[in-house]
Structure 1
């Protein structure tokens, strides 16, 4: 047996021929106690799809001849690949770029910090997690001009199936070229079949000349004027335990910050006792406290200097903790 055509979400499994036989295939993530079984395969190759990226899998095959079946084969293994995304960027931001992206009230303001036509925020946890099969999510993108207001198109995609491709069906905001400063979609949805976990959102703002209303449909374009921003967003299954999800969906903003840090706590944790600790890269604590939440926001007022920090939060009611 062998595995070929391995990518982030699919693989082709192959095995040797037994004349007149059909086959049963079973596979699972390494460490899982449950096999996924595919019965009555009439070829000696099978394409598995819908796999998780960067994950170790094991599989076994058995043959069936009439009512008789063999034992399953010895186990073979494969590992899915890292999800990779196409490049996109603007080559010139001297006249215009993205100044702010907001999802469900959480803002990433980059007006004073943008330095190139591509900004990578994938290593940061900025926005609140969103539930499978949920709707009424709001996204807005604000344009910034250094002088003249030019016609800019804005498009946003989320890679819901985590296959490394921003498809047309995954576009959550499409605004034709205009001089409208802030464009939005007040009601985008998370599909019921989206994969859970972290995935990538791509935001593109691109300059177009006349006429207005031109649409940016290419998520993999390098263009002259404007900017591209990539983010990580998290999708979770709300049918799981609320306590399991709450700490993971904490958001920290604004990003970048100046003097103050706001920590947005999910509504399911309101009235809980929360402790937090902010350390710099030298592991020195610059802020810590124990608070009882009356609303869902903690504001740290400490004249915090710009830099890289680690935020540790613990829910005293559940003894769960997370570091961001």
Structure 2
């Protein structure tokens, strides 16, 4: 049986009688002339009188290149008062056709996936081969859907299915009639045919098969290490085969028991068999269409190339090619495959880390969830990283790579997600990974980017990369604003050789990377440093640049008094600096040109923590009244603002048309202007604890920091070393800082006399 996936969203229902019988004659009331909850149609069809075999109407299928595979179905769940019992169903349907379309017409049953709402179509019986000639007299299709095919509890349907080979035109169907068998007894027994009784088979994947029983709906399969046991497997199967993962070098016992709604078969025979030390895997894997092949695979620096013959075998065994890997280490993988320009191809990777003959265990699937790995050019180079899990055992492991056409970048087809599934038009290759377990601590890593001594490094974010170290299960990062400092990162553990973090502008940072594994940390690793440059801020503008609409004419704030000379969607005035002091308030005023509208508004953001991002909550410092301006307000520079130069952004926007109230992106009308602010502020000398009655303790501290005397203290704030305020609170003798990371902080005590006493405190 061939499986087709199509989308069709339909309502569900449930009945009462334990069998299904129906005459789908298209004479039901409703729009478009029949019940759309009862009938389903896959596209290119409608009810019409020309299609009738009996009565007034039938179903028309308009066959074309667009609707090359289509059909009608009656949805069993929506037949009122009846319930599917899973037994065999006898089906007939009438058909005729207009001249034109060439193809096959079959009875079929359909099963809906509850997650995706897509339908799988399974043709049954002998298909009618239709030539281009017209069929003017109704002929009859007939078939029997076997028991177990229509599982109770699933959403299922019965209908007809046309597959076009050429031409176009109408195919007509009518009288989709079916009768489900009624069974009142439990089924008889069946016996396993594979594996054979008293045989020896490979461990790992093994296919269990048995003859079907006419009245069985499901089959209970048990496998155990003792007679009657089920410690290896205990499951219920719809169908007469199942792939099972078997342990090595074992004596096993297995029994299959047919079952239906009346009960289980009784007295069924158990078989016994042995497994050896060989591990088998699912296959063979075939392709239903032209094979687009894999041409090369590179893993951990080793490359295997292949002939990559278009239309070649769907499966290739390269298990003689061995890639070396160490537990806990992440390795790059690159797969090059032949594609078809404009069509997306993707890859997935499966590794049997525990050697049980399947790829179903945790951490054995890669790139099967979003974000998926794919591309849509003629030659696709697909890359990713494979992390060798900490629980992987030593020895040779099977790696399976699947490469196939995948029509979506947001979903993955079964050919890629199922390690055992057949391909559509791609290829599968199997390799061996030789896994070792480290016995020594790893060597040190070298920071690649930024280079040691680099300047003008983008701080938001700063992306650190270094060489992958063999045998490392992770990397501990130490980053500080002083040599040996850890105020930014103190042993932060990452699993891959890259780290992204937002840093402050124009500051020198010191970095040390220490690879680690289960044995211990690398020793003697070298510290490097780099200096950040100006933050890279997001872009913002107005799309309408005409001066016939509102633009900013002047901005006045602190030392800034700038009259615009150029009116565009965005103006960069960062060469103009306004000097401000922490704790002080300043009046902001913006005026517009003569074309300001009554619905205009001005918003202002200041990047107080100098991280290159305008926080939409804490750094939106002014939202003006709506009107033609001037737009004015007061802005107070917080005491926790970082000192030094930073960015101020001013946006004028029409609040009624194409408005954008965010610091990034575009509005339809208005203008955005950027300025520089230089924040200074009251001098905060670090106290000499030996000369002050005030003190903080313990220092270093774990969670709670105590203040010796809070008399005369007005408020307390805590800043990190970038100047960002991380805590603000009323006077208290104990400060709970359990939510802060390890590192160095400045504790500021704002006194009632206006002075500020500051202390360095280390959280460990």
Q: Normalising TM by the smaller chain, what interval?
A: 0.5 to 0.7
Q: How far apart are residue 26 of structure 1 and its match?
A: 3.2
Matched with 1:89 is 541
Describe the SS at the equivalent of 1:128.
strand
Change (3 A) 1:163 1:223: same
Match of 2:485 in 1: 35
Aligned residue for 1:26? 478
Determine whether 1:128 maps to 2:579.
yes
- In the alignment, which residue of structure 1 is the partner of 2:512? 60
| 2:607 aligns with one of 146, 159, 163 | 159
Structure 1 pair 236–88 and aligned structure 2 pair: CA distance change class (3 A) = same
Paired residues of 1:175 and 1:215 also in contact (CA < 8 A): no
Q: Counterpart in 2 of 1:206? A: 653
Whether contact under 8 Å (1:102, 1:141) holds in the other structure is yes
Q: Secondary structure at the match of 1:35?
A: coil
2:504 and 2:560 map into 1 onto residues whose CA distance is 29
Secondary structure of residue in 2 paired with 1:129: strand
Tell me the CA shift for residue 174 of structure 1.
Answer: 1.0
Following superposition, the deviation at residue 115 of structure 1 comes to 3.6
Inter-partner Cα distance in structure 2 for 1:222 and 1:65:
48
Report matched runs for 1:40-189 at 5 Å.
Answer: 41-44=492-495, 47=499, 49-53=501-505, 57-62=509-514, 71-77=523-529, 80=532, 82-90=534-542, 91-104=545-558, 106-110=559-563, 113-125=565-577, 127-131=578-582, 134=583, 136-146=584-594, 149-169=597-617, 170-179=619-628, 181-189=629-637
Distance 1:215 1:172, change over 3 A: farther
8 Å Cα contact 2:476/2:513 also seen in 1: yes
Match for residue 69 of structure 2? none
Hey, what's the Cα distance between the residues in 2 that align with 1:121 and 1:85? 14
How far off its partner does 1:96 sit? 2.7
CA contact (8 A) 2:653 2:669 kept: yes
Cα offsets for 1:95-129 (capped at 9, x unmatched): 4322332224x441416x3443432210122x223
Compared CA separation, residues 150 and 59, structure 1 to 2 (3 A): same
Q: Which sections of structure 2, spanning at least 5 residues, go unmatched?
A: 1-444, 451-456, 686-764
1:129/1:236 contact within 8 Å kept:
yes
Q: Report 1:297-316 matches (<5 A).
A: none
Q: 1:42 and 1:28, CA in 2 relative to 1: closer, same or farther beyond 3 A? A: closer
Q: Does 1:197 align with 2:637?
A: no
Compare CA radii of gyration and give the structure with the larger one.
2
- Describe the SS at the equivalent of 2:536: coil
C-alpha spacing 1:151/1:84, structure 2 compared with 1 (3 Å)? same
Corresponding residue of 2:255: none
Distance 1:215 1:155, change over 3 A: farther
- Residue pair 1:93, 1:225 contacting (<8 A) in 2 also: no
Is contact 2:592-2:630 (8 Å) kept?
no
Report deviation, 1:191: 5.8
Unaligned 5+ segments in structure 1 are 242-324
Aligned residues: 227
Shift of 1:230: 0.7
Deviations 1:24-52 (A, max 9, x none): 643345xx555226555554558464523
Matches within 5 A, 1:280-299: none
Residue 65 of structure 1 deviates from its aligned partner by 9.0
Separation in 2, partners of 1:87, 1:65: 43
Q: Within 1, Cα distance between the matches of 2:570 and 2:493?
A: 48
In the other structure, the counterpart of 2:674 is: 230
**In structure 2, C-alpha distance between the alignment counterparts of 1:24 and 1:208, rounded to whole Å:** 49
Q: What CA deviation, in whole Å up to 9, does each residue of 1:57-80 have, x standing for no partner?
A: 4422447899x8764302345554
Task: Decide whether the 8 Å contact of 2:551 with 2:595 is kept in 1.
Answer: no
Shift of 1:209: 4.0
How far does residue 232 in structure 1 lie from its aligned partner after superposition?
0.6
Q: Which residue of 2 aligns with 1:300?
A: none
Residue in structure 2 matched with residue 305 of structure 1 by the alignment: none
Q: Which residue of 2 aligns with 1:246?
A: none
| Structure 1 residues 158 and 69, CA gap change in structure 2 (3 angstroms) | same
* 2-structure distance, mates of 1:17, 1:27: 23
Q: How far off is 1:199 after superposition?
A: 1.4
What is the correspondence of 1:266-285 to structure 2 with a 5 Å cutoff? none
Whole-angstrom CA distance in 2 between matches of 1:207 and 1:11 = 37
Q: Is the 8 A contact 1:103 1:137 kept in 2?
A: no
Cα gap change, 1:17 to 1:174, in 2 (>3 Å): farther
Shift of 1:215: 6.9
Partner of 1:283: none
